[in-house]
Amino acid sequence: MLSRVTTYALHGVESQRVSVEVDVRSGLPAFTIVGLGDRSVREARERVRAALLNCGFSFPDSRVTVNLAPAHLRKVGPGFDLAMACAVLAASGQVDAAELDGRAVFGELSLGGELRPCRGALAVAEGALRDGCHGLVVPRALLDEARLVGDLEVHGAQRLDEVVDVLCGRAEPFAPPLASTAPPAPGPPQGPDLADVRGHAQALRALTIAAAGGHNLLMSGPPGTGKTMLARRLPSVLPPLTRAEAVEVTRIASIAGLRVGGGLAIERPFRAPHHAISVSGLVGGGHTPLPGEASLAHHGVLFLDELAEFPRNALEALRQPLEDGRVAIVRAQQTAVYPARFMLVASTNPCPCGFAGSPRCRCSEAEVARYRRRLSGPLLDRMDLTVELQRVPTAELGAPALTSSADVRAVVVAARERQTARVPETGAACNAHLAGAALQRVAGATAEAAGVLRRAYDRGALSARGHDRVLRVARTIADLDAAPRVGADHVREALVLRDDGAEAPGAQGDAA
């Protein structure tokens, strides 16, 4: 006898429908799984058989063949267990096959028949909704996550026999009242707070500007000055996630296994990979593609501590996400696209010893130039803001905090609203994505501001590329000021926050 049950396989950040077909036929007892599954799919044989028997069902004493269709799609993970078990039950007549029509099931089985959570429930639920399924059965632990899609009847079961009871109408689906689907309340900022910071007025200002315009930020300074400490507080001043953003963050975190079950993510992600990371660790990939740190930081912050220590090729690989806000992983068998729109925050020492500019520095011109060159190139081009930190004087360590995350966030949100109002005109969600003509148009630089830019350019303190970068940042500073046009003071402040490589000695190609 033949039965079919619908479930979903993960592909990139989406799910694809998979039909689990089970054929039970007389012959020598055997249990075969076909359909391009990985090892965990093949091992499902043992889990499914034991779970069925331990829940009081019988396992057909005949030839059982499981096919996961479409057969060309690579299938990974234990999420097919429940669908296989249900299909075996239907094919062996223990459950009415009609009950499984139009429903999708998803989950891993334990030997005892308990349903265990697995990755990607939100993506699966979205797939079920998209394909018009009228119900979805998932492990109880995944209920909150799967119900984020809204218009889908989701049943959270704890055991295999409970699933069967529901399918046969012997029990009511477990469906506690839904939590609100409204966007998460913009409550107090999460995580470490800027109120913990002492001194660092310049860095606080730079963080505010970066957050307000979505600009990438490079912090340079001696070891132990607080670069990492400041970067960790950036998410707390970013605008709260919108519901759509929160769903995307939740989906990616679930697929990566960072956050399985457990409702909507309300915090912006903050990812700080170690510099020993590989290319595929950073942008995603692997034999069976998984999202990398760049995607895990989607709508949040990707923090690269000690930028110069990262492998060059890993940094090069960040170019695509920085340009397009997404990563395409191409493998022989498949192509996966992961969203990756993040704010890049990086920290670096100013020179190999870290004490450039102070008498303690023993680095030669050549060493500093070589160190800087490791940073240079496409990534530095994308750093709108550079701030150089110094040690905080003892006197300031005892002083009260200069600000708090809530205060800064209020200013940032107001500035972002001004940018959002311009979206019809610019098509850029925030100033960091402004370019070319749109930038010139919305900057509306005053004559005086244009004069300052021209003088900077004439002095050789500004390259043509730097010109746009300064104007973008100036636009954000003007937004913080609620100024409709970019003024001279905005441009001047932006000039101070640019990368200072242009003025380093011998920077015109003579650097040793």
Partner 1 sequence: MTACDVCLRRSWLLAQLSGRLEIAHLERRPVRDVLALGEDELPAALAAVGGPGPPAWAGRFDAAAARREAAASGLATVCRHDAGYPGRLLDDRSAPALLHVLAAGGLRRLTQLVGAGGERPPAVAIVGTRRASDDGLELGRALGRGLAAAGVTVVSGMALGVDSAAHEGALEAGGATVAVLAGGADVPYPRSKRGLHARIAAAGAVVGELPPGTGVRRWAFPARNRIIAGLADATVVVQAAQRSGSLITAEMAMDLGREVGAVPGSPLSWRASGTNALLRDGATVVRDARDALDLVLGVDGASAALEAQASARTPLPADLEPALDALLARLADGADTVGQLARTPQEVAVVSGQLAELVLLGLVRRAPGGRYAPRVP
Report the interface residues with partner 1, using CB under 8 A.
Answer: 199-202, 204-205, 208, 220-222, 350-351, 355-359, 361-366, 368-369, 387-390, 392-393, 396, 402-403, 452, 455-456, 459, 461, 477, 489, 491-493, 495-497, 500, 503-506, 508-512
Count of alpha carbons within 13 Å of 498, Cβ hemisphere only? 28
- Residue whose CB is less far from partner 1, 264 or 385: 385
Residue 347 beta carbon to partner 1: minimum distance, rounded to whole angstroms: 14
Residue 248 beta carbon to partner 1: minimum distance, rounded to whole angstroms: 32
- Residue whose CB is less far from partner 1, 153 or 481: 481
- Residue whose CB is less far from partner 1, 333 or 364: 364
**Beta strands per DSSP E along 264-392:** 270-271, 284-285, 290-291, 301-304, 326-330, 335-339, 343-348, 385-388
Residue among 265, 285, 297 nearest 328 (CA) = 285
- Buried b / exposed e over 367-377, threshold 16 CB at 10 Å, is ebbbbbeebee
- Residue whose CB is less far from partner 1, 93 or 393: 393
Contacts of 287 (CB under 8 A, 6+ apart): 331
- Residue whose CB is less far from partner 1, 222 or 339: 222
Pairing of strands 108-109, 115-116: antiparallel
Q: Which string of DSSP letters, residue by residue, matches 442-466? A: HH---HHHHHHHHHHHHTTSS-HHH
Residue 497 beta carbon to partner 1: minimum distance, rounded to whole angstroms: 7
- Residue whose CB is less far from partner 1, 41 or 477: 477
- Residue whose CB is less far from partner 1, 243 or 360: 360
Radius of gyration of the chain (CA): 28
**Max CA separation in the chain (angstroms):** 89
Q: Give the Cα separation of 286 and 267 in Å (integer).
A: 27
Amino acid residing at 168? C
Residue among 66, 188, 53 nearest 112 (CA) = 53
Are 297 and 339 in contact by the 8 Å Cβ rule? The answer is no
- Residue whose CB is less far from partner 1, 64 or 210: 210
Map residue 157 onto helix, strand or coil: strand
Residue 359 beta carbon to partner 1: minimum distance, rounded to whole angstroms: 6
Residue in this structure with the two tokens 């990139």, named with its chain if needed: 12
Ordered strands of the 343-348 beta sheet: 270-271, 301-304, 343-348, 217-220, 385-388
Residue 397 beta carbon to partner 1: minimum distance, rounded to whole angstroms: 13
Amino acid residing at 263? G
Residue 343 beta carbon to partner 1: minimum distance, rounded to whole angstroms: 19
Residue 474 beta carbon to partner 1: minimum distance, rounded to whole angstroms: 11
Residue 198 beta carbon to partner 1: minimum distance, rounded to whole angstroms: 11
CA 191 to chain centre: 17
- Residue whose CB is less far from partner 1, 250 or 403: 403
- Residue whose CB is less far from partner 1, 191 or 505: 505
